Amino acid sequence: MELDARKLGILKAIIDEYILSASPVGSRSISKHEGFSLSSATIRNEMADLEELGYLEQPHTSAGRVPSDKAYRLYVDQMMQKATLSDDEVKLIRAHMSAKLDEVETVMQQTAHALSAVTHYTAMVMSPMLAANRLRHIQIVPLREGRALVVIVTTAGFARDAVIRVPEEITTSELERISRMLTERFYDCRMDHIAERVSREMAGELSDRKAFLCSIVEAIERKIEPETQNVQLSGATNILHYPEYSDVNKAKSFLAAVEGRSLLYDLLKRASKLEFSITIGAENQDELLKDCSIVTATYQIGDEPLGSFGIIGPTRMNYGKVISVLEFMRMSLSEIMTNELDDE
Amino acid sequence: MELDARKLGILKAIIDEYILSASPVGSRSISKHEGFSLSSATIRNEMADLEELGYLEQPHTSAGRVPSDKAYRLYVDQMMQKATLSDDEVKLIRAHMSAKLDEVETVMQQTAHALSAVTHYTAMVMSPMLAANRLRHIQIVPLREGRALVVIVTTAGFARDAVIRVPEEITTSELERISRMLTERFYDCRMDHIAERVSREMAGELSDRKAFLCSIVEAIERKIEPETQNVQLSGATNILHYPEYSDVNKAKSFLAAVEGRSLLYDLLKRASKLEFSITIGAENQDELLKDCSIVTATYQIGDEPLGSFGIIGPTRMNYGKVISVLEFMRMSLSEIMTNELDDE
DNA sequence: GTTAGCACTCGACAAAATAGAGTGCTAACA
DNA sequence: TGTTAGCACTCTATTTTGTCGAGTGCTAAC
C-alpha cells in the first residue's frame, strides 16, 4: 500500500484540523472539508489505510483519528506551509526587542518573552556560549583580604565574573600588573584557547604565581560555558491553556521538568549544532518530553553560532507558525548581537 | 463577647488541624483532641461564637469551619510556636549552600532552591540592591567602533555591566584614562552617591566629555537597582501539590502571577525595609495573591540590608516552620555575603 | 454551663440512563 | 473497480438520580 496523493491530502487535512481542535478528527468533518468531494465512507476507508500505515491512531473504537508522531514528522518534512507573520505579530516582537537592551541577559529575557507571547507556547533561550568569542579584557579587582573578583570581557560585549582566592602575599599592585599582563598577552585570543595557552606559554615565567594563575584560568574556563541558570524561560504556564494538559498531573510533570532548567539546557546545547531542529514527541530523549515537540534555532554573531533558543509545546503544535517565528527571531537576535546592543 | 483562654485554645487547635488537613474542621474532631475534655456540642457553641467574632468561616451550612485571615493573623502574632529545624532539614539546606558559590547569582539561585526544597512552598530571592555598596572598580572596555562595555565592581564582589555608546573621537587610551580616573576618584564611594558626586565635582573638568560621562553615570544608576529578571524563583510548581490549587484555573492564575516576576520584585523590594514580614491573604495588595500568604526576610552584609527573600504559599501555611527556615537562611545568607563567597 | 439527642442541610460519590459522535461492514450503484 | 448510502454497533461524555455521612443548630435535660 502506497501513500498516494489523495491519502497525503487527507492526512494533511486531518493534521491541520487536529492542530486547531485538539480532538480526534472524524471522517465526516474531512468529507465536508472543501477540496474533497468524497463521502465520509470513502474517507473512512482511506483513514483505515492511513492507520494501518502508522500515520493515524485511534484513542478508542468509536472515536475519530489522531495523527501519530510519524504523521507529524511527514507533515513537517513535506506538507507543511510556512506561515508568514502578521503585522501584529511583527509589531509585538519588535515591541519586546526595542526595550532597553544594554546587557546580554536582558536581550535573552526579552527574546524569551517575545517568543512565548507570539507563539503561546513555552519559550526557552540559552545564553551565549563564549568559547568562540575573543578576549577583550581581564581585570582582577581585590575585594577584601584573600578575595578578589576576576572580570572577563569578550569581543561581543559579554562580561563574566567570579570570586577567587588570592594568596596573602600578592599585593594590589601586583594584581593590577597581572591583569594588565593577561589582557595584553591574550588580547583577541579565543576564550576556549586561553587555558591551554596560559599553561603552555607561561610555564617558565611567574612560576611562583603558578597556583594563583591556575585558579584564574579555572575561573575563566568555568565561565565560558553558560550555566543552567542562564536559560531564560518564558510562558511555561502557557501549556495550561492546552487541553492535553488539563489534567493537573500532566501539567505538574511538564512544569516540573521545565522549571529545573537543566533539562532544557542540555537540549539547547545539543541543538546549538544545527541551525534549526524539530523534535517530535517520542523522538525526544527525555521521558518527560515524550508528548511534546521542540523546535529550536541558533543565533550567531557573524558566522559563529553563539547559542540556541526554541519553543516547546504539545506535539499538536502549529509548526508552520513556530518555524516562521523562530526564523524571524534568529535574524533579529543575530542582528542585535552583531550590531545593536547599546544603551538606547 | 470576649476571646477567653478556652476560645483561644480551641481556635489554635482548629488552625493547627486545618493547616495539616486542608479540610474544614468539625466540632467532633476538636472535642476528641487531647487536652480538651469537652463534648462536641460545647465545642460547637464555642465555634459559633468564634465565627461571630470573625475568626472562623463556614464554606456551607453543614461543613466544618475554616480559619479566616483574621484568625491566621492572631495565630501568627500570638499563638504560633516556632518550629526547630530537623537535622535533615539543616543538612538539606547546607547541601544546597555548599555548591560552588563563586557568583552572586548562583548564591541567589541556590538559596531559592534550598528554600523551596525545605518548605515545599514557592521561594523567591531578590538580588542585592547595590545602593549601599561601595565602588571598587570601573572599567570601560572598548568593543567595536562606537561601543564600549562599562563594568562596575563593588565592595561585596558584585559586578555589573552595560553596553554604552562612545563618541568616535574618544580613543582607547582615553577610555583607559577615564576608567582609571573614575576608579581613583570614586573609590569607596557609595554606589547611590556616585551620580550626584560626578555631576557636582566634575562640572568644571572634562567639560568636553560631559555627555559621555553622563551616559556612564546613567548606566551605573540603572545597574544599582536590581531588575525584575533578578528575582530567582524556585518551586513555583509546588503549589500544585496543595488541594486549594487543584482547580486548574486557580493554579493557572497563581503561576501566571508568579512567572511574571515583576509582582514579586515589587513585593520583595517593599519587604526589604523590614527584617521579617508576614502578609496574610487579603492583606496582600495584589488581587491575585488574596488567598496566599507571603513571608519574607532580609539579608544583609554587615549591618546594611542588601535585599530580601521569602516564601509564598497558601494562607494555610505552616508559619512556624517557614519562619524558622527563613531565620536560618537569613543568617546563612548574610554570612555568605559577608565572608564566604569564593571559588571553593 | 454542659451535654445528649434529633432533625436537617449539604456535598461527595456511585450507579444508571441518555445522547451523540464515529466506526466497520455490507450491498448497491456508476 | 472505486464510491457511496445505510445500518448496527461501540464507546465516551454528560446528566440524572439515589445514597451516605459528616456536620450543624436547636432543644431539653442534667
What does the pLDDT read at residue A259? 92
Cβ burial A195-213 (10 Å sphere, 16+ → b, else e): beebeeebeeeeeebeebb
Q: Does A341 touch chain B (CB under 8 A)?
A: yes
Mean pLDDT within A305-326:
96
Note the pTM of the prediction, 2 decimals. 0.92
Q: Which residues of A touch B163 (CB under 8 A)?
A: 102-103, 157, 341-343
Using a CB-CB cut-off of 8 Å, the residues of chain B touching A102 are 162-164, 219, 222
Any idea what DSSP says for residue B65? Answer: B
| CB pairs < 8 Å spanning A and B | 134
State the smallest CA–CA distance between residue B103 and chain A in angstroms.
5
Between B141, B235, B255, which is nearest A136 by CB? B141
- B303 vs A315 pLDDT, higher one: A315
pLDDT-based confidence at residue B248 (cuts at 50, 70, 90): confident
pLDDT of res. B342 = 53
Q: Which three cell numbers stand for residue A43?
A: 474517507
In this prediction, residue B50 has a pLDDT band, given cuts at 50, 70 and 90, of very high
Distance, CA of A165 to CA of B29 (rounded, Å): 59
Reference B19, options B267, B224, B280, B315; nearest CA is B315
Tens digit of each residue's pLDDT (9 = 90 or more) over A181-192: 999 999 999 999
Task: Report CA(B9)–C1'(C1) in Å, whole number.
Answer: 18
CA of residue B61 to C1' of nucleotide C16, angstroms: 29
Beta bridge partners of B140: B150
Using pLDDT thresholds of 50, 70 and 90, give the confidence band for residue A342.
low
- Which nucleotides of chain D does any protein CB come within 7 A of? 3-6, 9-12, 21-27
| Residue B344 pLDDT greater than 50, yes or no | no
A143 strand D contact, CB < 7 Å: no
Stated in angstroms, how far is A24 CA from C20 C1'? 15
Min Cα separation A103/chain B (Å) = 5
> Is residue A188 exposed (0-12), middle (13-18) or buried (19+ Cβ within 10 Å)?
exposed
Q: Is B130 exposed, middle or buried (0-12, 13-18, 19+ CB in 10 A)?
A: buried
- Cβ within 8 Å, pair B137-A137: no
Mark which residues 181-240 of A lie under 8 Å from B by CB.
215, 218-219, 222, 227, 229, 234-237, 240
Of residues B323 and B291, the one with the higher pLDDT is B323
**pLDDT score of A343 more than 70:** no
Amino acid at A89: E
Q: Per-residue pLDDT tens for B92-148?
A: 999 999 887 888 888 999 999 999 999 999 999 999 999 889 999 999 999 988 899
Q: Which residue has the higher pLDDT, A146 or B65?
A: B65
In the block, cell 552583531 appears at A338
Judged by a CB distance cut-off of 8 A, whether residue A338 touches chain B is: no
What's the average model confidence in pLDDT over B208-237? 89
- Greater model confidence, B259 or A208: B259
**Positive or negative CA dihedral for A133, A135, A136, A140?**
positive
- What is the rounded average pLDDT for all residues in chain A? 92
A206: pLDDT confidence band, cut at 50, 70 and 90?
A: low
B22 touches strand D (CB under 7 A): no
